[in-house]
Amino acid sequence: MLSNLMRGGFKGELLPVNPKRESVFGLRCYPSISALPRPVDLAAIVVPASGVLEVVRQCCEKAIKAALIISAGFAEVADGLTLQSDLQRLAREGGIRICGPNCLGIANLADNVWASSNPNVEPDVVPKPGSVALLSQSGATAFGPLMALARDRGVGLRYIVSTGNEADLEVADFAEFMLEDEPTKSVALLIEGVRDGAKFARVARLAQQKGKPLVLLKLGRSPVGAAAARTHTAALTGTDEVWTAVCRQMGVLRVDDYDELIDVSSMFAKIQMPRGERTAVVSHSGGIAGAVADSCGGLKVPIPGLEPHTVEQLSRILEGRGAAANPADITYHFQRDTFPVILNALLMDDNVDLLCVATFGDEDVARAVINAAGAGTKPVLHMWTGSVQNRTGLPILQDSQVPVFYLPGRLAKGVRALLDYRKARLRQLAEPEGKAPTGAPGCGEYQDARLDLIRLSSSTPDDMLDEFRSKQLLRSFGIPGTREVLCHTPEEAVAAALQIGYPVALKVVSPRLPHKTEAGVIHLDVRDAGQLSAAWTQVVANASARLLVSDITGVLVQEMVRDGLELIAGLSWDEQFGPILLIGLGGIFVETMGRFSRRLCPVTRDDVLEMIAEVPAMERLLAGYRGQPARDIDGLVDVLYRLSRLGTECAGLVRSVDINPLVVLSNGQGAIAVDALVALPSPREKMRHTTFPAAAPELQSGR
């Protein structure tokens, strides 16, 4: 630690503390923190875990406000949980902020502060200062392969932070600081999980507002990876499906590996946003251009045809060689004075919003690409096709504002990330956060519904509301349900059927029969009193064979809902993020098809429309497929918004909600919950879930 600070060029004062030494590296060594002659800004603690609490206590007595704890042996090991809990409590009580424990430190490259215990910090191997901030829960990854990649690819870093176990400060805290830091242009994150999902979501929204992308490599995507993450920093990894949904919703760019994390983060630190998605590709090789175009096409990046006048201009230059098209094969012209003319022609084409150049070459080639990028308003990305050992053209490109990639697939992923971020940013700027569908209730208008839930919860001895009570709760949030009557005798059922109108459905109601079809306790399309009597006898007998009489609430006589599209909608609680909204194609096939879309609650109208687009075939089915009528998308959006509000308003009171089927009727007729089940938390879960906010922090504070 001390050696790195000294060799790294630190200009401040260093005060070593060690009771066994009089000096270290020529610096006077103090026997204790209390013996320090002057106030200090940061205490870097490198002692055995058993001694950390005492050192932190001395820091608090000395009014030191920040500590960096390198020491391991806390929550990442089974017998260190209590020690970390004590450390957290001491930090709160003593007013000290902590990075770590079990981390490798921090680096501020702009100011030559290498407060890291990593042995690989040498002046000739560290990256150059730049505008990318790197945050990692893994110190060895941050100061190892990620730092090495940044150096090798000429990517400038402003900060490197290893957060370790995050007993106090989390990745989100450091990210928030970096978003407010003017020279920082993008933030690269390598994390295994977060403890406070609401905080992470708030910081992701801030990144959108600032126009500074968060680029995320999330570890623990597989069961094996998740287990490794738990043993590493004791992090909660979360389900990968939820992480994917939250990132899409918040405009966080997910990447798949180290290379992509560095390349994409560097791209966002350099490039301007395109005005559209149409991409042109140019190379000295038809094969290389085709490989780039194929990779882009596989990620649904539009590769349009060029305008006729552009094709004519390229044809004159190429003289029958190569390809005057998109992608463009310009053969040896990349090394001629015609190269800048070709680049300019492509950038001036009204069908082109951004340009991908795939070449290698000397300084002249590099300057041509850089000048073309700087002369216009359309972004230019480069794929280097030569040796990474090149010392003429490549370093010049790396030092420029042109993003550099090294493989067709990497370049295509970079373009896709750029387009995805553009879309998310435009949506965030166009629609105020949390905007509800027209006519939907706003925040704070569900007090009566919360009281209904408390009443319903207190009236059931189980952890599950039956269908009748579940739909009562949904109605209190404005979610329509079927016309139905809860009956206890066949005579009541006949009267109810006459009131509702035949045909009807009969369902045995019990919180202990979540799957009625398999249990044989549901009978559909009952058309008269005779059929009703026989159906009553059958479903009650089937229920009695499985349940005690006391477990049966009654029999529901319910209207038959026909000619609608069956979906599933639901809520679940994620350990890190809280309430998650889910939709998918429903009915009896939901478990076999298994294709859902998810979003963090509460949602906006655009969130719901994106969810619909993500589920295969749902958009086409809602629009009317093969003669079927178009379905009421506005009614569906309203129901899903209200369901998401149930999630945020009833945090800690509900564990999950399952509406299956949610039937979307024809235009103007809305969507109806035909069947529903609400699961309640156990006492232990209720205590844990009450930490989730009743609404997003921005909505609570009025921001």
In a domain, 491, yes or no: yes
Q: What is the dihedral of CA 352, 358, 362, 366, to 10 degrees?
A: 30
245 and 311 inside one domain: no
CATH number at residue 535: 3.30.1490.20
Report d(CA 580, CA 655) in Å as an integer.
11
Residue 692, pLDDT score: 38
Q: For residue 158, what are its two tokens?
A: 């402003």
By three-state DSSP, how is residue 496 classified?
helix
61 and 140 inside one domain: yes
Q: Which residue among 427, 445, 461 closes a domain?
A: 427
Report d(CA 654, CA 148) in Å as an integer.
47
In a domain, 602, yes or no: yes
CATH number at residue 666: 3.30.470.20
**Beta-strand runs (E) in 137-204:** 157-162, 186-191
DSSP state of 436: P
Q: Using an 8 Å Cβ cutoff, are 135 and 157 in contact?
A: no
Report d(CA 463, CA 482) in Å as an integer.
24
* Placement of tokens 């392969």 in the chain: 145
Q: Using an 8 Å Cβ cutoff, are 265 and 215 in contact?
A: yes
Q: What does pLDDT average to in each consecutive run of 10 residues of the chain (703 residues)?
A: 92 96 96 95 97 97 97 93 96 97 96 90 86 97 95 96 97 98 98 93 95 95 60 58 93 97 98 96 98 97 98 97 97 97 98 98 97 95 97 97 97 98 88 56 65 74 86 94 96 96 95 80 95 95 88 94 92 92 78 78 93 92 88 96 94 91 95 94 58 34 27
**Beta-strand runs (E) in 436-553:** 464-465, 484-487, 504-509, 522-526
Four-residue CA torsion sign, 71, 77, 81, 82: negative
Task: Give percent helix, percent strand, percent coil of the chain, each to the nearest 5.
Answer: 45, 20, 35
CA distances from 6 to 110, 123, 281, 501 (A): 15, 11, 48, 86
Report d(CA 190, CA 202) in Å as an integer.
18
81 and 109 inside one domain: yes
In a domain, 437, yes or no: no
Task: Label residue 123 exposed, middle or buried (CB < 10 Å: 0-12, 13-18, 19+).
Answer: exposed
Identify the domain containing residue 696 by its residue range: 565-701
Up-side HSE of residue 106: CA atoms within 13 Å toward CB? 25
375 and 388 inside one domain: yes
DSSP state of 534: H
**Beta-strand runs (E) in 575-646:** 578-585, 596-600
In a domain, 469, yes or no: no
Residue 322, pLDDT score: 96
CA 289, distance to chain mean position in Å, is 32
Report d(CA 100, CA 322) in Å as an integer.
57
In a domain, 57, yes or no: yes
Report d(CA 62, CA 636) in Å as an integer.
60
Q: At what angle do helices 52-61 and 81-94 cross, to 10 degrees?
A: 0
Q: Using an 8 Å Cβ cutoff, are 382 and 404 in contact?
A: yes
42 and 71 inside one domain: yes
Q: For residue 637, what are its two tokens?
A: 């959006």
Q: What is the pTM of this model?
A: 0.89
Q: Which residue among 427, 447, 468 closes a domain?
A: 427
Q: At what angle do helices 633-649 and 447-458 cross, to 10 degrees?
A: 70
By three-state DSSP, how is residue 351 classified?
coil
**Beta-strand runs (E) in 212-342:** 214-218, 253-255, 279-283, 328-329
214 and 351 inside one domain: no
Q: Which of 412, 334, 428 is nearest to 698 (CA)?
A: 428
Instruction: Provide the H-helix boundaries in 406-515.
Output: 408-430, 447-458, 467-476, 490-500
Q: Going by C-beta distance under 8 Å and a sequence separation of 6 or more, which residues neighbour residue 208?
A: 250, 251, 424, 425, 428
Instruction: Provide the H-helix boundaries in 278-407.
Output: 286-298, 308-318, 339-348, 363-375, 393-398
Residue 226, pLDDT score: 59
CA 59, distance to chain mean position in Å, is 37
Count structural domains, the chain.
4
Residue 470, pLDDT score: 93
Q: For residue 354, what are its two tokens?
A: 């951004």
Radius of gyration of the chain (CA): 31
96 and 150 inside one domain: yes
Task: Tell me: cis bond preceding 327? Omega within 30 of 0 counts.
Answer: yes
189 and 116 inside one domain: yes
Q: At what angle do helices 197-210 and 171-180 cross, to 10 degrees?
A: 20
Q: Using an 8 Å Cβ cutoff, are 207 and 179 in contact?
A: yes
Phi-psi category of residue 203: left, alpha or beta, with phi > 0 → left and psi -120 to 50 → alpha: alpha
In a domain, 56, yes or no: yes
Q: For residue 118, what are its two tokens?
A: 């990593």
Report d(CA 286, CA 477) in Å as an integer.
59
324 and 280 inside one domain: yes
Q: In what helix (H) or strand (E) does residue 698 lie, and over which residues does it extend?
A: helix 697-701
In a domain, 59, yes or no: yes
Q: Using an 8 Å Cβ cutoff, are 671 and 632 in contact?
A: yes
Numbers of helices and strands, H then E, in the chain? 27, 28
Residue 213, pLDDT score: 97
Beta pairing, strands 554-559 & 504-509: antiparallel
Q: In what helix (H) or strand (E) does residue 115 lie, and over which residues does it extend?
A: strand 113-116
CATH number at residue 201: 3.40.50.261
253 and 300 inside one domain: no
Instruction: Provide the H-helix boundaries in 154-238.
Output: 171-180, 197-210, 223-233
CA 515, distance to chain mean position in Å, is 32
Report d(CA 279, CA 289) in Å as an integer.
12
Q: Which residue among 238, 268, 298 closes a domain?
A: 268
Residue 695, pLDDT score: 34
676 and 657 inside one domain: yes
In a domain, 477, yes or no: no
Task: Label residue 518 exposed, middle or buried (CB < 10 Å: 0-12, 13-18, 19+).
Answer: exposed
How many angstroms separate the most distant Cα atoms in the chain?
A: 100
215 and 134 inside one domain: yes
Report d(CA 386, CA 391) in Å as an integer.
11
Report d(CA 478, CA 200) in Å as an integer.
30
